Every structure is written in structure tokens, then in C-alpha cells.
Structure 1
Amino acid sequence: AYLASTIDHHSVVLLKGGSDSARCVRIGFQLGIDDDIDAFEKQTAAHGIKTVRKKNPEPSIADMVSFEDPKGTVIEVFKRGELSQQKFSDKGIVPHKLGHGAFFVKDVKATTDFYCNVLGFRVSDWMGDFFSFLRCGTDHHTINLMRADGDRHFHTAFELRDWGHMLTACDHLSLRGYKLLWGPGRHGIGHNLFTYHRAPNGLITELFAQLDQMNEELGYFEPRPWAP
């Protein structure tokens, strides 16, 4: 099933798996209009990483380079074709966008280095030496990595418009039997409003708003260590 809440054809793809537990098996990152996917593929291969090139692999995806990150998640870097022309209803929460993914990893330093050196992410903040916050645009973080005893999904986060949208979303979920795991609250790192719920498949979903914006063209920024 291909799911979307904005003008993109899809932001989430649900696949029937063979195991009892749900998991995140792949993440997609869209290249900018002026970015060269051929150059990106050569750059990735130069790091000794095996890549797979796919033309028109999915609806609205014109070209894609895929490979695995150190924790075994498939990374799909793609160029978008034409935007979807379908209209979406206003039923449900309707998040503004898919904002970030968070993962537990055995080696947070090596995985952080991979995202920075291969994918061009930048470090926004660290908590101690065990929790990194990485960005690929102006959002404070697009990928979070936390040290753990194994590699697995932590949560997926969807951005809401504001505090009023978050209140409405919590009411909507509560009326349908989805209880809060944590929140509402405001994080220290990133300073965003948040709530956490558990989806029917067992995966944790965060809803957030008012995330810090890190536009380096506006001035100086230095990542700072946060105490655990």
C-alpha cells in the first residue's frame, strides 16, 4: 500500500512481511532538482559500497540508486518524476510531512560517519557520545541514531502544523483507542513539541511540531554536546 498526506505520490509504503514483528526495511531520500544522480552513484561507489540502479521502480519515482547502510537498512536515493495530480481528503490527522526516522544501532559513531561521509548529512547535536541528530536540509534532524545492543527501528515521526494541530491529532487518536505513550511535551534537543503513540503493527510513531531550523546560510552554527 502506498500512503501519502501531501502532493507526493507516497511517503510511506506498507508491505506484508513474513515475520511476526513489523520493521523498517528501507528509507528514501529525494535528490534536489539540480542534483546529479549519476554523480551521486559514482561518489557512493567510491566508498566501496555496492549500489543498484533502478529506472522507474515505483510510481512517481523516475530514477533510483539503492544500497545498504551499516545497520542493514536499504537506502533509496531517488529523483522524483512528475508530482501526483490526485487530490487528498481532509480525513484523519493529515500530517504536513514525514519528518524523520530514529534507529537504535550498535555502533552509533560508525553509522553517524556513514550518513555524513556517504550521504552528506551534517551533525546538528549529540547527547553524550551515544545519541546523534543528523540533518540533510534545514530541519534540525532527519535521522536520529541511538546506541543500543542491536540494530532496530526506534520511531518514525510526522510533522504537524502547530500546537492546535497536535491537540486535534491527540483527540482523534484517543477517540479511536490509541493511547499516548509519552507527551505532549517539548524535547530539549531540537526543541520540538512531541507526542508518541504505538501503531497497530507495534511500531512507535511520533507527532511533532515547531522543530528547530538550521539554515547555515543565515549565520554560524556549531553542534554542541548535550548532557545525558
Structure 2
Amino acid sequence: MTTTGSVCAMGYVALGSRDLAASTRMATDVLGLRSVENTATRAFLSAADTHHELVYVKSETEGVDHIGLVAPDHDNLAAIREKVRRGGWRVISEQPIEDHIEEGFAFVGPEGFTWHVYRGMSLWDARGGGMGPDRYGHVNIKVRDSVAMVAFLVDVFGFMVSDRIGDDFAFFLRCNPEHHGIAVVKAVDQAPSLHHHAWQAQSIAELGKLADRVKKSGSRLLWGPVRHGAGHNIAAYYIEPGAALVELYTDMEMIYDPCREALVWAFEDPGWLSQWETLSPDNMLTFGIPAIER
């Protein structure tokens, strides 16, 4: 059987933080993640049964350190590695760049984003049945050339386009049945950045509880709850200490037909963004943290 080289899941996101304590506190007390392991330079957090789904890395600047993607097996990992080699992308490590991972490698792709492709993360299920999301779900990245970034994600990792907004304003891509694991938005006049990371909740009631916790922390939701058209998910957003957005969502569309063609929305149609006539704040796209240079 020919192995094409595809990822099968979103693994985790690692963010640079100037204040590990503040970042960790917001993630545990407001979002509801559990703190799994802490060192002087890293804080590992999770909602599901793996060692980490969110990593804060002590840094002099706020930014996205790297994005972790899961390969289903050794053969797919090797095939992706070969595609990276043929594409001439700069490999920064031939081994996993985080602990508790069996095998993997990391490289710098288009627009400066670092990708860590791996398999075999340790299980670490210590959930206590309290508040918080079920798992990490997706990221939204802003780029200068959305078409080139989508081509990269499709060709190297095997992502499929679920929805497209306009000719090239935004793309929603999946690597499994969930509608999107990565959303790509064109932002010509901005540096490439991670706009938000997103976490799946069981119901809209959890979004209300999140709003209560955000208010108790001294802040408030930036937007939502709202139902998106692209993805159909109900979502709420707040600002984390590093100035990225965090999304909690539920009721995401699932696509089980790998041959389903991408849905195309006119850019002028506000329905792709909101089905409830609650348009996003004017400053919604100004948020985000840049890719940390390597």
C-alpha cells in the first residue's frame, strides 16, 4: 500500500509567554485546563487524556512557538518527513522537540510558522470531572499569502478544504471528520500570527459558565456566544494574557465524506461568520501573536 503522508489530528499548540504564572493561571482558572507538569521554562496543560495539548514556553516575547500535528503511524510520519525534505523546508530537529513523545521532527514552514509532526504522545488522564473543555480543537492563523499556505497544508500534511470564504480571504481545513483543525485567514497588512486557539466543550451551557469565569477574573468575553456559518459551531471568545484569542466551542459540523467538495461563501455574506446576526467586533482581526523566529 502506498503511504501518502497525512496527519490525523491536531496535537497541541505551544505559545511563548513572558509570564508563565499568569498564562497558566488563566488557562487553569478560566478555561479549565489541568496543569500536568511545570518546569522553570515550560508549563504543560491538557484537557483530554494526553500529556499536553497546550504548552507555555518562557520567552522574552509573546508568540506562537510551534504547532503540533499528529501522524497516525510511523509510515505516515516518514512520508511527511520526505515531503518536507523535497520541499526544501528547514528542519530544526530530527527528534521530538517536547518530552513524552515517541518519535517526531520539527521544521519551519511558510511565513515562519514552526510545525512539530509526531506520534506516540504519553497518556496522562487525570481528569477529575470538574469544569473545562473536553479537548483542544483547532487554531486560526493569519498569513500574507493564504493560497500558498493552504497549498502547503494540503500537499505536506494532507489537509482537506471544508469551506472557502471569497476567492482567498479565508479557508477552513480538516485532517479528520471535524470541520476544521486549521483556519487560514488572509491578513496582508499584518505580520503572520496565530489569531486564536480553540477548545471543544460539551454544550452551550459550558460557554455560559466560561463567560462567568471570565467576568470573575476581571475581564469579559470579546465576542459570543455566536453560531458560525462556516463550521456551524457555537463559539465564545476571550483574550488571554499574551493577546491571542481563546475560543470555546460546541456543536461543530462533522464531515465523514472525504470527497465532499468545499463549500464556498461570498465574502460579502455575513452568514459564514455569524448565523445569529451578531457580527464580530471591528477589532476582531487585530488580535494575534506572531510566529517566533528561529
The reply to whether TM is greater than 0.5 is yes
Residue in 1 that maps onto 2:51: 9
Structure (1 or 2) with the greater helix fraction? 2
1:227 corresponds to which of 248, 255, 266: 266
When residues 175 and 96 of structure 1 are mapped into structure 2, their CA distance, relative to the original with a 3 A threshold, is same
Residue in 1 that maps onto 2:217: 176
RMSD (CA atoms): 1.8
1:32 corresponds to which of 51, 58, 72: 72
1:116 corresponds to which of 154, 160, 177: 154
1:214 corresponds to which of 235, 239, 255: 255
Question: What stretches of structure 2 of length at least 5 have no aligned partner?
Answer: 1-42, 268-294
Q: Deviations over 1:69-117 (max 9, x none)?
A: 2121100000114422x513345x4211111111111101111111111
Q: Give the Å deviation of 1:7.
A: 0.8
Alignment pair present for 1:95 and 2:133: yes
When residues 5 and 185 of structure 1 are mapped into structure 2, their CA distance, relative to the original with a 3 A threshold, is same
Q: Take 2:261 and 2:228, find their aligned partners in 1: how far apart are those partners?
A: 19
Residue in 2 that maps onto 1:23: 63
Task: Please say which of residues 105-114 and 49-58 is displaced more in the overlay.
Answer: 49-58
Residue in 1 that maps onto 2:284: none
1:141 corresponds to which of 163, 167, 180: 180
After TM superposition, the score normalised by the length of structure 1 is 0.90
Kindly tell me the number of residue pairs found equivalent between the two proteins. 222
Q: Give the Å deviation of 1:187.
A: 0.5
After TM superposition, the score normalised by the length of structure 2 is 0.71
Q: Deviations over 1:109-129 (max 9, x none)?
A: 111111111111111111102
Question: What stretches of structure 1 of length at least 5 have no aligned partner?
Answer: none
Q: Take 1:168 and 1:108, find their aligned partners in 2: how far apart are those partners?
A: 35
Contact 2:92–2:108 (8 Å) recurs in 1:
no
Q: Take 2:63 and 2:85, find their aligned partners in 1: how far apart are those partners?
A: 27
Q: Give the Å deviation of 1:40.
A: 2.3
Amino acid at match of 1:208: Y
2:229 corresponds to which of 178, 188, 193: 188
Contact 2:57–2:65 (8 Å) recurs in 1:
no
Residue in 1 that maps onto 2:39: none
Alignment pair present for 1:166 and 2:204: no
Q: Take 1:221 and 1:186, find their aligned partners in 2: how far apart are those partners?
A: 22
What is the 5 A alignment of 1:45-64? 45-55=85-95, 57-64=97-104
Q: Deviations over 1:43-93 (max 9, x none)?
A: 321222233444454332111121112121100000114422x513345x4
Residue 164 of structure 1 aligns to a residue whose secondary structure is helix
Q: Take 1:28 and 1:57, find their aligned partners in 2: how far apart are those partners?
A: 10
When residues 201 and 50 of structure 1 are mapped into structure 2, their CA distance, relative to the original with a 3 A threshold, is closer
Contact 2:139–2:198 (8 Å) recurs in 1:
yes
Contact 1:9–1:59 (8 Å) recurs in 2:
no
Contact 1:57–1:63 (8 Å) recurs in 2:
no
Task: Please say which of residues 71-80 and 164-173 is displaced more in the overlay.
Answer: 164-173
Contact 2:164–2:264 (8 Å) recurs in 1:
yes
